[in-house]
Structure 1
Amino acid sequence: MLVYYSIYSFLILLGRAAKRGGLYWLALVSLFVVAGFRYEVGCDWSGYLANWYIMDGRSLDSAFQYSEPAHWAIIALLQQAGQSYTYLLVIASGVFFWGLHSLARRQPNPLAVLVLAFPILVINMPMSAIRQAEAIGIMCFAFAAFVDRKLLRYVALVGLAVLFHRSAMIFLAFAPFIHLQFTKRNVAFSMLLALPGLYLMTQTAAADEAMGRYVGTGVDAAGAAFRLLVLVLSGALYLLKIRPLWKRQFPQDYKLVTIAAWLMVASFGLFFVSSVIGDRFGYYLIPLQLVIFVRIPYLQGLRNRQLWTFAPYALLTTVFFVWTQLSWHFQQCYVPYQFGIYSDS
Structure 2
Amino acid sequence: MIAYWVVYLAASFLAIARLRVSALGWGLIVTGLTVFVGLRYQVGGDWDSYLYYLVRVANSSSVTEILGYKDPGYQLLNGLSFTLGFDVWFVNLVAAAFYSVGLVLFIRTLPDPKVALAVAIPYMTIVMAMGYTRQAMAFGCILWGLTYLRERRLLGFVALLALGTTFHKSAVILMPLAVLANTKNRAWTALWVGTTAIILFVLFVQSHVDQLYSSYVASDYSDASQGGAIRAAMNVLPALVYLLFHRRLVLEDQERSLWYWISWLALACVPLLAVSTTAVDRVALYLMPIQLVIASHFTYFFSAASRVLARSLLLAFYGVVLFVWLNFASHSNFWLPYRFWPLA
Give the TM-score category using the shorter length: 0.7 to 0.9
**Closer, same or farther: CA 33–56 of 1 in aligned 2, 3 Å:** same
What whole-Å deviation, never above 9, does each CA across 1:21-52 have from its counterpart, x for those lacking one?
15544443222211000011111211000111
Distance in 1 between residues matched to 2:26 and 2:76, nearest whole Å? 32
When structure 1 is superposed on structure 2, of 318-327 and 17-26 the one drifting more is 17-26
Counterpart for residue 256 of structure 1: 258
Q: 1:75 aligns with which of 78, 82, 90?
A: 78
Question: What is the total number of aligned residue pairs between the two structures?
Answer: 328
2:16–2:312 Cα contact (<8 Å) kept: no
Written as runs of structure 1 = structure 2, the 5 A alignment for 1:197-212 is 203-204=211-212
Written as runs of structure 1 = structure 2, the 5 A alignment for 1:50-65 is 50-58=52-60, 59-65=62-68
Deviating above 3 A after TM superposition, structure 1's stretches of 4 or more consecutive aligned residues are 22-28, 178-183, 196-208, 212-217, 248-252, 298-302, 304-312
**Closer, same or farther: CA 262–113 of 1 in aligned 2, 3 Å:** same
Letter in 1 for 2:63: L
Counterpart for residue 283 of structure 1: 285
Distance in 2 between residues matched to 1:19 and 1:335, nearest whole Å? 32
Distance in 2 between residues matched to 1:267 and 1:235, nearest whole Å? 11
Letter in 2 for 1:284: Y
Counterpart for residue 5 of structure 1: 5
Counterpart for residue 235 of structure 2: 231
Written as runs of structure 1 = structure 2, the 5 A alignment for 1:113-192 is 113-180=116-183
Distance in 2 between residues matched to 1:306 and 1:158, nearest whole Å? 36
Shift of 1:207: 6.3
Counterpart for residue 334 of structure 1: 335
Distance in 1 between residues matched to 2:41 and 2:213, nearest whole Å? 25
Q: Does 1:95 align with 2:98?
A: yes
**Closer, same or farther: CA 342–134 of 1 in aligned 2, 3 Å:** farther
2:30–2:97 Cα contact (<8 Å) kept: no
**Closer, same or farther: CA 130–37 of 1 in aligned 2, 3 Å:** same
When structure 1 is superposed on structure 2, of 35-44 and 308-317 the one drifting more is 308-317
Letter in 2 for 1:62: E
Shift of 1:60: 2.5
Distance in 1 between residues matched to 2:342 and 2:222, nearest whole Å? 28
1:201–1:277 Cα contact (<8 Å) kept: no
Structure 2 regions of 5+ residues with no counterpart? none
Q: Secondary structure at the match of 1:328?
A: coil
1:37–1:90 Cα contact (<8 Å) kept: yes
Letter in 1 for 2:97: G
- TM-score, normalised relative to structure 1: 0.83
Distance in 1 between residues matched to 2:68 and 2:123, nearest whole Å? 33
1:151–1:178 Cα contact (<8 Å) kept: no
Q: Secondary structure at the match of 1:39?
A: coil
Distance in 1 between residues matched to 2:177 and 2:75, nearest whole Å? 28
2:40–2:339 Cα contact (<8 Å) kept: yes
1:68–1:162 Cα contact (<8 Å) kept: yes
Shift of 1:87: 0.4
Letter in 2 for 1:261: S
**Closer, same or farther: CA 82–280 of 1 in aligned 2, 3 Å:** same
**Closer, same or farther: CA 336–28 of 1 in aligned 2, 3 Å:** same
When structure 1 is superposed on structure 2, of 102-111 and 117-126 the one drifting more is 102-111
**Closer, same or farther: CA 134–255 of 1 in aligned 2, 3 Å:** same
Shift of 1:4: 1.4
Structure 1 regions of 5+ residues with no counterpart? none
Distance in 2 between residues matched to 1:206 and 1:91, nearest whole Å? 31
**Closer, same or farther: CA 182–5 of 1 in aligned 2, 3 Å:** farther
Q: Secondary structure at the match of 1:273?
A: coil
- TM-score, normalised relative to structure 2: 0.83
